[in-house]
Amino acid sequence: MSGNSYLPRKLHSLLGVIPLGLFFIEHALTNYSAFEGGLEGFNRSVNFLHQLPLVFFLELILIWLPILFHGVYGLYIAYQSNLNTGRFQYGRNWAFALQRISGVITFIFVIWHVWETRIQVALGNTTYEELGAHMHEIFTNPAYIVIYVIGVIAASFHFANGLWAFLVSWGITIGPRAQRVSSNICMGIFVIVAVLFLLSLVAFSGDEFASAAAAAGSASIG
């Protein structure tokens, strides 16, 4: 690793866990509230977040700027990476390759997801109170369902495997045994977070959110 890239790579690694990793977990739990608490539970979670003091500046500093740096620099890392899966087909080599591939998929998916949700709110095409209904309207398109499934699985793997790499690169897990144990834990995190997101997709596709979408459509016509 060259001296010129050491600090950016360290910052890229740190931002991937703090604050973006924490935000990712929070986002998974917020979306899961749609499955556990229905439309009311989802709206309550969304309203709580967007009633926080100085929420715009909190999101700008703790989410959007870190996502921009982590995503753009991550694309640069992926571009420079030498994927050796065809030559050295060991588990960690495959994880290395999938980390880069899932990172590219995740960055593209996040841009699209933000356009479909947050920017639509900013443009006045929907509101935070109607976000659940808006999500249901998105899922009436089967192609969008496929995109979301691929996106949330890629993002969940990228986070969990990135957490494993963070623990190694920052000297927290030293030695093969510690790294093997942390690998198992991180893959467990991958499964749990992916399931939370997938269950939320099931909820957004359900009858309760369909009724909300129909009511929102009737109100806009009236």
pLDDT in tens, 106-142: 999 999 999 999 999 999 999 998 999 999 999 999 9
Q: Give the Cβ contact number of residue 40 at 10 Å.
A: 12
Residues 6+ apart with CB under 8 A from 36: none
Burial, 175: exposed, middle or buried (Cβ in 10 Å; 0-12, 13-18, 19+)?
A: exposed
User: How confident is the model at residue 87, as a pLDDT?
Assistant: 53
User: How confident is the model at residue 157, as a pLDDT?
Assistant: 98
User: How confident is the model at residue 41, as a pLDDT?
Assistant: 94
What angle in degrees, to the nearest 10, is found between the helix axes of 142-169 and 3-17? Answer: 120
For the chain, state the CA radius of gyration: 19
pLDDT in tens, 72-103: 999 999 888 776 655 545 677 888 889 999 99
Token pair 């309550």: residue: 44
**Fold of the CATH domain 3-221:** 3 helical TM bundles of succinate and fumarate reductases (1.20.1300)
Three-class SS state of 75: helix
